Amino acid sequence: MRPLFHHERPVPDTSTVSQVRQWARTITLTTAAGTATATIADGRPGDRVWLDRRTDTEQVQLGEIEVAANETAARTAAFGFEDGVLRACGRAGDRPEVRCTRWMGRHDPNPDRGLRAVERLLDRYDHENGRWGGDASVWQSANALTSLIGYMARTGDRQYVGYLDETYRHGMVSRTGLPRDTGYNDDALWWALAWLDAFDLTGEQRYLAASRTIVDSLDDQHATFCDGGLAWARRGVDPHLRPWTQVNSITNELYLTATARLSIRVESAARASYFARAQQTWEWFAQRAGRMLLDPSGLINDHLDQQGDTCVPADVGTRWTYGQGAMVSGLVAMYRATGNKARLRDADRVMAASTGAGSPFLRDGVLVESAAKDCPGPDCKDAETFKGVFVRAYRELVDTRRSQSASPYFLARQANSLPGVDDEYGFRWQAPAQPDDTPTFATQAAAIDALNAE
């Protein structure tokens, strides 16, 4: 049989529940006294539910039952574990897709809040396109995948590793690393980092190759008008915004992080090339045009715009949590690649400005997105992910064990402040939950980042 994960402990035979949702139906596995039942609720006649049991020698389906006429729910008979594990599965009567709970053993504890939050994130995964919640911009699905990987890495629980394979097999991912080419270089780099995390979790070379493919495709994207900074997007994208005239901090921070991380993961012959790109990017921030993005306060400004044959700061003072976090991630990655403590000092300076006295990103010690004036709301989409990126970076800095500015207590404060309703989390991280703060897959993923980082 499977071993217990390192965070699990045998418990007496008490009732436990695991729950997933699909097409508005709720599928529940309930265990007690060595047996389990499967339930489907909020359904329609013709919906079906059953149990799967897996042992060392076989997997069998048990007790399938259909929602009867004039009913909205159905429950199977109880079945024993038989030295195996059980899960509940169900499907809507008019849909082919099957959704199952996690496998549970007889002595497994109730799912903790991190696991329950992950299940609610997976409720929103679209198996038809391999992304979350109709993600038109693509990059936030990369962050949701990163949050899921972070949960598995933190807990040792590998029951969701199949989502990596499923995402990789959709569309053109296996060829280009991307579900869809939006033309925006930062969108692509979020996927490069997600695949690096997938490689770290699984050791599968295809994920490392996907990350390299993305990063290598950006070699020709440096802007001549901005002293070599990586452009926000490829020429010809979005003629109304003309993003090819913008060089922003986030794109260059992500490139810094990806190249530095690749430099210690690829074969020896290629390591110097990737680190040279990371070093060149940091020098752009520290010595060339990118210096205009580094505020004397230690905070990171958002972007530079083309003006003639040069570039100038734009929206000075508009700062986002993810811009601070992504810089810290890049600097920590450089430190891990070389052991150069100067990069840790640089990371500490950004983090101290982001979380110290006078920070625009804290209210009563809890993260806020100060530049997001209309959030939560329908125009808040990008900002819904930002705080998750920040706490991931904060944890990376803590994990160096050498930071002078980052403390695990800060992360515990963020996780313990999260207001959730039915294990779903909105944009605001301050309790109590407000009725206008509707959770999305992006806000859910950011909350999972906070729980992972705790």
Across 334-351, average pLDDT: 98
Do residue 407 and residue 344 come from a single domain? yes
Question: Is the pLDDT reported for residue 15 higher than 90?
Answer: no
Judge contact between 299 and 353, C-beta under 8 A: yes
pLDDT classification of 10: cutoffs 50, 70, 90? very low
Higher-scoring residue by pLDDT: 377, 342:
342
CATH number at residue 419: 1.50.10.20
Question: Is the pLDDT reported for residue 225 higher than 80?
Answer: yes
With respect to residue 116, please indicate whether it lies within any of the assigned structural domains: no
With respect to residue 117, please indicate whether it lies within any of the assigned structural domains: no
With respect to residue 10, please indicate whether it lies within any of the assigned structural domains: no
Tell me the two tokens of residue 169.
């097999």
Do residue 139 and residue 99 come from a single domain? no
| pLDDT 10s digits, 311-327 | 999 988 889 999 999 99
Percent of the chain past pLDDT 90, that is, above it, reads 87
Of the three residues 60, 84, 110, the one that is the final residue of a domain is 110
Locate tokens 């490689």: which residue?
A: 199
pLDDT classification of 236: cutoffs 50, 70, 90? confident
For residue 133, the model assigns a pLDDT of: 85
Locate tokens 């891990």: which residue?
A: 336
| pLDDT 10s digits, 435-447 | 999 999 999 999 9
Q: List CB contacts of 219: < 8 A, sequence separation 6 or more.
A: none
pLDDT classification of 14: cutoffs 50, 70, 90? low
Judge contact between 425 and 444, C-beta under 8 A: yes
pLDDT classification of 104: cutoffs 50, 70, 90? very high
Question: Is the pLDDT reported for residue 30 higher than 50?
Answer: yes
DSSP letter, residue 317: T
- Residues spanned by the domain of 84: 16-110
CATH number at residue 103: 2.60.40
Judge contact between 69 and 91, C-beta under 8 A: no
Across 193-208, average pLDDT: 98
With respect to residue 266, please indicate whether it lies within any of the assigned structural domains: yes
Mean pLDDT of the chain: 93
| pLDDT 10s digits, 251-272 | 999 999 999 999 999 999 999 9
DSSP letter, residue 230: B
| pLDDT 10s digits, 131-190 | 998 787 799 999 999 999 999 999 999 999 999 999 999 989 999 999 999 999 999 999
Judge contact between 333 and 256, C-beta under 8 A: yes
Cα of 95 vs its chain's centroid, Å: 28
pLDDT classification of 244: cutoffs 50, 70, 90? confident
Do residue 35 and residue 184 come from a single domain? no
* The total number of structural domains that make up the chain: 2
Do residue 220 and residue 283 come from a single domain? yes
Question: Is the pLDDT reported for residue 5 higher than 70?
Answer: no
- Between CA 413 and CA 374 the distance in angstroms is 25
Do residue 292 and residue 170 come from a single domain? yes
